[in-house]
């Protein structure tokens, strides 16, 4: 059964493979009458694309998006918006050395077993390249959210390996995040992260880390109990991102070390609004946004592609050694930031439409 | 838009409130011709129900389930299975003291804001009581999974507050887990957990913790890229449980501290099967089960209901002090174990039907 | 894959069998804060139930509905509304004479082949009895539609066999329809229909006919191109009713005999509203309601249950003769009227929520 | 809420406008490992495209389809198949004469009211041009059905205006249908139809008619009670086609004139199979296919676009006269044949996957 769509009222259907002719997405549910152009979308793609800095994959892709339906005179018509990105760098690289084996912790083995066939070139649909259309769709969602609710979504790299940046979520701005190539709002910690990534890249190894995301301006009332709680929808979206391993919101796992008397967020009145003095709830109570900032963290594993010799087995189950060369991300974290933001935007936009029509 | 269903091919629609006449669930997608009776379901409910031990809520509910459709001569017919539980303990308790105020970190505020009305008695639909029908449905899912794949789902309390139990997931049995009232497989650690819960209960305070879950016998191929990855479906289900705050699978957040060369799970042949020597993937690669054990952890916050005086505001935004008395769980962890197992069963059953028909 | 739900934002999940303990439906998506009681629902069920007149089945069922969730103090809370009807007349009738054979034009054969098992008592889930929960849910939908849009849904028996009633759809009232037991608004034609049904019943035979339905007060804008056009949703709902064989709206099949110059509905201004001078469009253009009356017709076949000797085969494929006795409807048309109205209400309510939130 | 997808396990998401850069569809759920190329799809598009004969629209469109995802080495991979058709004939025709008015029985008025904006060029998304991607997707569905079940889907023009062709459905072949430009299997009647269409075209008028469709080789067991009955799914699909006004299956509306003793389809054994001696059931009993031929009819209204002067109103509600010139179909019936076949294929393929996995 297909799993290529996300959202119910704002629905994105993602298609395409790493080295196919095109990748794209169909975006349904965008309200009519909204001004929209590629200028609203391209900047997000530019933050996700390869080749943007020395610490990410050097694949040459401009990721130039085209909007091929759903617009008239620069405005949305309420019909599906089809987004298309032509793959440029499909060079006839020779994948024959890995065609017959299962790279560790990649999708080679599971795709082969599930589908009986797999697209070896660039990993086919297992490639993180498929997040590009989702990022494009997320840019549309974000525009809707800003227009409706003045929402501000900001994600950043909180840690790379054991190098951790400690900031107050509500104070982080996207400008700060974009100040350096690793997308960590603390410039000093960013330098350390970059150095560590470069060092590990030279070793042909890879690193993981954590992305933190804070969303301000969320309206009260998003989320649908009991199974479509807002945190459940966010967890679903985040765990659908390639290489993600965990999700927590508000106090998260650390909250299990608190007592209830400390963990409960006290309500107070402030400027005719009811707010909480702390935000262990991460902006969500009983599955519904309470008007405070939504805050969550996503863990990403170290990239599975290494430029080292590795042992594995081939399709026949025989032990083999192999080594890949070429372009890869030694650490997905810098490029994960716009992806986390986009997926959050998709979830919130869907739930905004579910709540407010 | 309604959010009361989970699953696509094995779909559970949950209904009911804490103090309404009944709670229940409609289970669609159960294969026809399977023997089924309340005896398959009641044991799971008995593990979830209140009043089962001194460390959980003393509400008197037998949670006796009835199957009121979908069976003929003790076998499923392929039509919806309607499960009904009559609420017994709906005593006309006086909720007037909390009717006008918003208890901290409960759903009072968000439900009132979202719906403009709320069911105060026992928390209405925000009550963890609504997990009972899901647990009943999960028992049917588990029976299907056992018959199809000999799956074994085992969850346990890994930590309560800062008391942690360290076990090898694959070795834990449900029998071990059921040996003590806190559902921790290490008897010594269990004693400490129970003592801590009792101590905190006397203080009118509450505790959180972590449930670990290991699923053995999972067939290869479950999970649907790119948005219905198996981990995404599990995260969604786990974050829909009341009081849960986080989800991680395999190496999880800790995996961000490893390098790729250490984190990658090496494939080897073993008895004509391809397996991995480590399981940082937690049994899922590229969103699809790889045949290894699925392993994940769920964080639960300390219960929001305290038997202490607390400050909050009323509907008018005025600061008020209040105190509740009576029955409550000082720690949801022991009762969360069968809920986590049930939700995992629902996800796997749905994905088994999606993969194998 | 389950097919027991209808609607996306106003969703009804129907469960139960003819002779099981209960039948019912879960209704999701009802706006919160609406007054609701069984008094809003029971009248519709009374129009559908057996035993209401001499020309319908004499099965004794009061079809008394209970609302067992989703209400507080007589108002909806926005949570699922669970409707339950206890089956009263489950007398241990002996079905052994038909247990092994396939009655012509019933679901015996297809259910047995699809599910490998079937519920013989009263036809199990193939029974028209399963329309009762849908009628109950439809009454809730109708209440919402009346409150939102002052919609007026009126269906009637247009023909029984070759006896046809010719009326102007917009002039028919539910009061007229309820004036006689066959639910035909023309009293003289109604008498003929009743006489024909009685005659055929004595012959142990059965009759079909056509229900016409006219909906006034439909707001502009319902229907979602290109696949969820309003007429497509109505056709889907009508063809899901037991014994229905066809659906047409506006000019329908007869419209194929007109030229475009005659068929086109001319727009004119009237009281500051744009209306059409004719309504061959049946109130729907390009899949979207245009504010004119929605008008459609549904064909129902003659009931398959006959009180005559019939030839068929048994499970072994051997030719057998059989005869049933007892209660049955010689003509479903009178009881189909409230079912058509209910299904129309479900569709319109779902689409009202889709359009207006 | 979006309505651009059809199907649950075999899901087609359709996008694009008449005069946009491209139109297309995303096809999810196609089994992996199936050989597929544009040669499997283009012939169906060629039967639907404009300009194929003198009695259809002379718009110049080759409707050349590209498959831009989901394939490797000519085989499906189980990932979404993205189909793209570049619009060729988007000449900058002047639509200013109709930009401000509502053409009778078109979607101009309802789209403007629903969306507050509309794409005037070629009718935007209301154009029958949007059926092209569905026809392309239907060709994939048909290939799957042929491989799985040797299904044979044959539709033909049964009537144009009052010229009717009377054939035995099971005997009609696609070759016969393709023998003439009106797609009527009786050559003599076809001549009359063509003459009538040409005559009416010269008058600037238009005609409707009926498409009949017979599907042979349908496996037992397709269809999901109670709301996703096979006939309900077919009715939904057929009423979603532009200009369709009615659907009936088996005996249909005419069946209401029969008595049950005549209408019931008697079961008999034949070559170790249980079949019926008549097929008033149209191959579907209790919502499930019974292995006999599925037979249904779809009514299409006379085309709304006329080359005559017509009266209407403009956006301001003022009465205006207008006349369009140029390319149009005086009768959609010949081009509706491959569309009906495609939509039937989509429904059956979805239900084949629902039943058999």
* Range A164-168 contact pairs with CB under 8 angstroms and sequence separation of 24 or more: A164/A189, A165/A189, A165/A190, A165/A193
Per-chain mean pLDDT for chain B? 96
Query: Cβ separation of C260 and D303 shorter than 8 Å?
Result: yes
Each residue's pLDDT tens digit, D300-355: 999 999 999 999 999 999 999 999 887 788 999 999 999 999 999 999 999 999 99
**pLDDT band at A237; cut points 50, 70, 90:** very high
C5 to chain A, any CB pair closer than 8 A? The answer is no
Nearest to B172 by CA among B187, B161, B160, B162: B187
D173 vs B89 pLDDT, higher one:
D173
- The span from the CA of A343 to the CA of A242, in Å, is 12
Residue C96: the pLDDT is 82
- Give the gap in angstroms from C-alpha B112 to the nearest C-alpha of chain C: 10
- Give the gap in angstroms from C-alpha B108 to the nearest C-alpha of chain A: 8
Nearest to A310 by CA among A329, A330, A325: A325
Residue whose entry in the numeric block shows the structure tokens 């299907």: B144
Q: Which secondary structure element, helix H or strand E, spans residue A209, and what is its range?
A: strand A209-216
Q: Range of A307's domain?
A: 5-356
Axis-axis angle for helices B131-149, B333-356 (nearest 10): 50
Per-chain mean pLDDT for chain D? 96
- The span from the CA of C106 to the CA of D170, in Å, is 23
Chain B: residue whose CA lies nearest to C112: B77
Residue A326: the pLDDT is 75
CB A239 within 8 A of CB B237: no
Please report residues of A whose CB lies closer than 8 A to that of C221.
Answer: none
Residue A91: the pLDDT is 63
Q: Hey, which residues 217-236 in chain D have their CB within 8 Å of chain B? A: 225
Q: Phi then psi for C104, rounded to 5 degrees?
A: -60, 135
- The span from the CA of A345 to the CA of A218, in Å, is 11
Query: Cβ separation of D80 and A13 shorter than 8 Å?
Result: yes
**pLDDT band at B91; cut points 50, 70, 90:** low
- Give the gap in angstroms from C-alpha A349 to the nearest C-alpha of chain B: 13
Each residue's pLDDT tens digit, D196-250: 999 999 999 999 999 999 999 999 999 999 999 999 999 999 999 999 999 999 9
Query: Cβ separation of C68 and B22 shorter than 8 Å?
Result: yes
Q: Averaged over B32-45, what is the pLDDT? A: 98
Using CB atoms within 10 Å of the CB of residue C77, give its burial: 0 to 12 exposed, 13 to 18 middle, 19+ buried.
buried
Nearest to A281 by CA among B242, B120, B122: B242
A59 vs A259 pLDDT, higher one:
A259
Q: Averaged over A199-210, what is the pLDDT? A: 96
Q: Averaged over A262-291, what is the pLDDT? A: 97
Chain C: residue whose CA lies nearest to D352: C1
Axis-axis angle for helices C230-239, D230-239 (nearest 10): 160
- The span from the CA of B66 to the CA of C16, in Å, is 13
Please report residues of C whose CB lies closer than 8 A to that of A225.
Answer: 79
Chain C: residue whose CA lies nearest to D305: C260
Sign of the alpha-carbon torsion through A254, A256, A261, A266: positive
Chain B: residue whose CA lies nearest to D352: B357
CB C314 within 8 A of CB C225: no
pLDDT of C108 > 90? The answer is yes
SS3 category, D301: coil
DSSP B99-117: TTB--TTSSHHHHHHHHS-
Q: Give the count of beta carbons closer than 10 Å to the beta carbon of residue A33.
A: 12
Residues composing chain B: 357
Query: Cβ separation of B15 and C115 shorter than 8 Å?
Result: no
Chain C: residue whose CA lies nearest to B15: C80
Chain D: residue whose CA lies nearest to C6: D227
Nearest to B126 by CA among A225, C244, D70: A225
Alpha helices in chain B (DSSP H): 42-48, 108-115, 131-149, 174-177, 187-202, 230-239, 260-263, 333-356
Q: Hey, which residues 6-25 in chain D have their CB within 8 Å of chain A? A: 8-9, 11, 13-17, 20-24
Query: Cβ separation of D26 and A22 shorter than 8 Å?
Result: no
Chain A: residue whose CA lies nearest to B284: A110
- Give the gap in angstroms from C-alpha C88 to the nearest C-alpha of chain D: 22
DSSP D269-289: EETTEEEESS-TTTTEETTEE
Point out which residues pair with A177 in neighbouring strands: none
Nearest to A131 by CA among A30, A47, A234: A47
Interface test with chain C among A5, A9, A82, by most C beta carbons within 10 Å: A9
**pLDDT band at A328; cut points 50, 70, 90:** confident
SS3 category, D173: coil
Q: Hey, which residues 31-70 in chain A have their CB within 8 Å of chain B? A: none
Each residue's pLDDT tens digit, B45-85: 999 999 899 999 888 889 999 999 999 999 999 999 999 99
C267 to chain A, any CB pair closer than 8 A? The answer is no
**Proportion of chain A above pLDDT 70, given as a percent:** 99
Strand arrangement, sheet containing B163-164: A163-164, A152-160, A209-216, A294-300, A244-249, B244-249, B294-300, B209-216, B152-160, B163-164
Please report residues of C whose CB lies closer than 8 A to that of D279.
Answer: none
Residue D1: the pLDDT is 87
Query: Cβ separation of C356 and A357 shorter than 8 Å?
Result: yes
Interface test with chain A among B263, B300, B308, by most A beta carbons within 10 Å: B263
Query: Cβ separation of A16 and D117 shorter than 8 Å?
Result: no
Chain C: residue whose CA lies nearest to B18: C69
What is the domain count for chain D?
Answer: 1
Chain B: residue whose CA lies nearest to C23: B69
Q: Residue A350 corresponds to which tokens in the numbers above?
A: 């869907």
- The span from the CA of B270 to the CA of B268, in Å, is 6
DSSP D40-87: GTHHHHHHHSTTSSTTS--------EEE-SSEETTEE-SS-EEEEEE-
Query: Cβ separation of C119 and B77 shorter than 8 Å?
Result: yes
ipTM, interface predicted TM-score of the complex: 0.98
Each residue's pLDDT tens digit, A101-115: 999 999 999 999 999
- The span from the CA of B116 to the CA of C143, in Å, is 19
Query: Cβ separation of B3 and A234 shorter than 8 Å?
Result: no
Residue A92: the pLDDT is 56
Q: How many CA atoms lie within 13 A of A321 on its CB side?
A: 2
Using CB atoms within 10 Å of the CB of residue C193, give its burial: 0 to 12 exposed, 13 to 18 middle, 19+ buried.
buried
Q: Averaged over D185-193, what is the pLDDT? A: 98
CB A48 within 8 A of CB A338: yes
Q: Which secondary structure element, helix H or strand E, spans residue C295, and what is its range?
A: strand C294-300
Q: Worst-scoring range by mean pLDDT, A172-181, C89-98, C113-122?
A: C89-98
Q: Hey, which residues 315-334 in chain D have their CB within 8 Å of chain B? A: none
Each residue's pLDDT tens digit, C115-128: 999 999 989 999 99
**pLDDT band at C92; cut points 50, 70, 90:** low
Q: What's the whole-model pTM score?
A: 0.98
Query: Cβ separation of A80 and D20 shorter than 8 Å?
Result: no
Q: How many CA atoms lie within 13 A of C339 on its CB side?
A: 26
Q: Averaged over A293-308, what is the pLDDT? A: 96
Cα angle: D209, vertex D214, D216; to 5 degrees:
170
Any residues with CB less than 8 A from the CB of C301 and at least 6 apart, and which? C105, C208, C243, C244, C245, D251, D255, D256, D258, D260, D263, D280
Interface test with chain B among D9, D223, D353, D355, by most B beta carbons within 10 Å: D9
Q: In this complex, how many residue pairs, one in chain C and one in chain D, have their CB atoms less than 8 Å apart?
A: 357
Each residue's pLDDT tens digit, C297-334: 999 999 999 999 999 999 999 999 999 887 788 999 99
Residue B84: the pLDDT is 98
- The span from the CA of B91 to the CA of C181, in Å, is 46
- Give the gap in angstroms from C-alpha A161 to the nearest C-alpha of chain B: 5
pLDDT of A98 > 90? The answer is no
Strands, E assignment, D195-344: 209-216, 244-249, 267-270, 273-276, 284-285, 288-289, 294-300, 310-313, 319-322
Q: Averaged over A143-166, what is the pLDDT? A: 98
CB A228 within 8 A of CB A347: no
pLDDT of C97 > 90? The answer is no
pLDDT of A89 > 80? The answer is no
Interface test with chain C among B6, B117, B140, by most C beta carbons within 10 Å: B117
Q: In this complex, how many residue pairs, one in chain A and one in chain D, have their CB atoms less than 8 Å apart?
A: 156
Q: What is the CATH number of the domain that holds D254?
A: 3.60.150.10
pLDDT of C281 > 60? The answer is yes
D115 to chain A, any CB pair closer than 8 A? The answer is yes
- The span from the CA of B27 to the CA of B135, in Å, is 12
Query: Cβ separation of B33 and C115 shorter than 8 Å?
Result: yes
Axis-axis angle for helices A131-149, A333-356 (nearest 10): 50
DSSP B212-270: EEEEESPPTT--BTBTB-HHHHHHHHHHTSTTEEEEEETTGGGGGGSBHHHHS--EEEE
Interface test with chain B among A116, A207, A286, A333, by most B beta carbons within 10 Å: A286
Please report residues of D whose CB lies closer than 8 A to that of A69.
Answer: 15-17, 20-24
**pLDDT band at D91; cut points 50, 70, 90:** low
Of D21, D28, D68, the CB nearest to A20: D68
Please report residues of B whose CB lies closer than 8 A to that of D356.
Answer: 357
Q: Averaged over C74-103, what is the pLDDT? A: 89
Query: Touching A: which chains, 3+ CB pairs < 8 A?
Result: B, C, D
**pLDDT band at D42; cut points 50, 70, 90:** very high
C116 to chain B, any CB pair closer than 8 A? The answer is yes
Each residue's pLDDT tens digit, B274-287: 999 999 999 999 99
């Amino acid at each position: 059964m297909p799993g290529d769509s996300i959202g119910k009222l704002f629905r994105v259907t993602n298609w395409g493979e790493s080295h196919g002719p095109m990748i794209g997405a169909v975006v349904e549910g965008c309200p009519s009458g909204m001004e929209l152009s590629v200028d609203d979308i391209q900047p997000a793609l530019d933050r996700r694309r390869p080749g943007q800095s020395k610490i990410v994959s050097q694949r040459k892709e401009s990721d130039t998006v085209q909007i091929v339906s759903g617009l008239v005179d620069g405005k949305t018509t309420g019909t599906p918006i089809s987004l298309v990105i032509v793959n440029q760098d499909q060079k006839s690289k020779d994948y024959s050395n890995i065609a017959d084996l299962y790279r560790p912790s990649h999708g080679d083995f599971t795709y082969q077993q599930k589908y009986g066939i797999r697209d070896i070139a660039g990993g086919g649909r297992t490639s993180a390249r498929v997040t590009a259309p989702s990022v494009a769709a997320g840019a549309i969602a974000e525009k809707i959210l800003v227009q409706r609710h003045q929402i501000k979504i900001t994600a950043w790299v909180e840690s790379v390996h054991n190098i951790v940046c400690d900031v107050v979520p509500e104070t982080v701005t996207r400008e700060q995040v974009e100040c350096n190539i690793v997308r960590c709002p603390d410039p000093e910690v960013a330098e350390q992260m970059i150095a560590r990534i470069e060092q590990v890249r030279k070793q042909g190894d890879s690193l993981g880390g954590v992305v933190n995301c804070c969303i301000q301006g969320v309206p009260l009332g998003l989320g649908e109990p009991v199974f479509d709680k807002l945190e459940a929808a966010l967890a679903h979206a985040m765990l659908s991102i390639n290489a993600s391993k965990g999700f927590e919101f508000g106090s998260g796992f650390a909250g299990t070390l608190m007592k209830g008397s400390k963990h409960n967020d006290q309500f107070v009145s402030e400027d005719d609004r009811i707010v909480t003095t702390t935000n262990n709830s991460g902006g969500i109570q009983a599955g519904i946004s309470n008007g405070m900032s939504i805050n969550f963290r996503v863990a990403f594993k170290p990239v599975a592609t290494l430029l080292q010799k590795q042992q594995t087995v081939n399709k026949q189950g025989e032990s083999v050694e192999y080594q890949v060369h070429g372009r890869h991300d030694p650490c997905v974290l810098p490029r994960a930031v716009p992806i986390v933001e986009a997926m959050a935007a998709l979830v919130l936009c869907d739930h905004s439409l579910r709540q407010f029509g």
